[in-house]
Amino acid sequence: MKQVTVADHASVRTWLSRFGPQTTGMLAQRGLKLFAESDDSGLRAVFGVRDRSVVYPVLPYAPITRQQLVRVIHLSRLHENFCLMGPSDWVNFAESALEPARRLRSVDYDLLIRARQETSSGGSIAVTQARPRDALKLFSLQEGYEKEEVLFSPEEFQPVLSWIALQKTLREQLVLVAWDREQPVAMARTNARAGEWAQLGGVYTTPSHRRKGLQKALLVTLLNQLSKQGQGACLFVKKQNLAALNLYFELGFGEASDFRISYWAR
């Protein structure tokens, strides 16, 4: 198991991209280092490590060993707190290679995918594409999304880091917003885009404006824009979020696999 050199980085990414939505979000992340092991038959295992804090087993069905995982953790010099993420079978195996007492928490998701296709209009709700200049107006939505969907406790919210992340997202991703007069009340966006797939995220509506069809309108518009640009969509949704699952199935998403994120302390 060794880190992929710059010279081999593109070829490994190209090879991995054939796995489609299972690896799209992982490969599109900046600050990603790839670690690979190969034999005469070709690549046997590939891991991605982002920002020394997130470990991806990025080959969905290839076997891994405890020795490979431990080697990656050692080579990547992970931060004190890190997470494992990927198909549930992979992460469950990876968890067995680590000290159980160091696991902080785990969250299970469904990975849903939707092939490139256009659908009928989401209705008469006004939807606009957000720009970096809209960051201040959108910050309350970002805060609500993180506190409700991302963080395990609202007290974990860090305004400065959230502000930086929002500005970066507005510069680099496709962000759509629904408004009530001058107030943004719902958003949906891409988190990562690579090849023929885009990973969606940041899907959030303020509590006072839910059950009004805002998310359906946003997602229909977003999916149609991606389709025109040659991309299908994938996303992760918590297994217990039945309302969101029903909406995604209505929009043509299908379940692809189980997905798990596991948080650890070194």
Provide the CATH number for the domain around residue 206. 3.40.630.30
User: Is the same domain home to 9 and 89?
Assistant: yes
Inter-CA distances, 105 with 48, 226, 235, Å: 21, 34, 21
User: Is the same domain home to 143 and 171?
Assistant: yes
Assigned domain for 162 exists: yes
Assigned domain for 201 exists: yes
Amino acid 137: pLDDT: 95
Assigned domain for 187 exists: yes
Mean pLDDT of the chain: 84
Assigned domain for 177 exists: yes
Assigned domain for 44 exists: yes
Q: Among 47, 81, 108, where does a domain finish?
A: 108
User: Is the same domain home to 134 and 93?
Assistant: no
Assigned domain for 258 exists: no
User: Is the same domain home to 78 and 136?
Assistant: no
User: Is the same domain home to 159 and 217?
Assistant: yes
User: Is the same domain home to 140 and 201?
Assistant: yes
Domain of residue 87 covers 2-108
Assigned domain for 244 exists: no
Domain total for the chain? 2
Q: What is the pTM of this model?
A: 0.80
Decide which of 62 and 190 is more confident.
190
- Minimum mean pLDDT among 26-30, 63-67, 156-160, 228-232: which range? 26-30
Average pLDDT in the 51-61 region?
Answer: 73
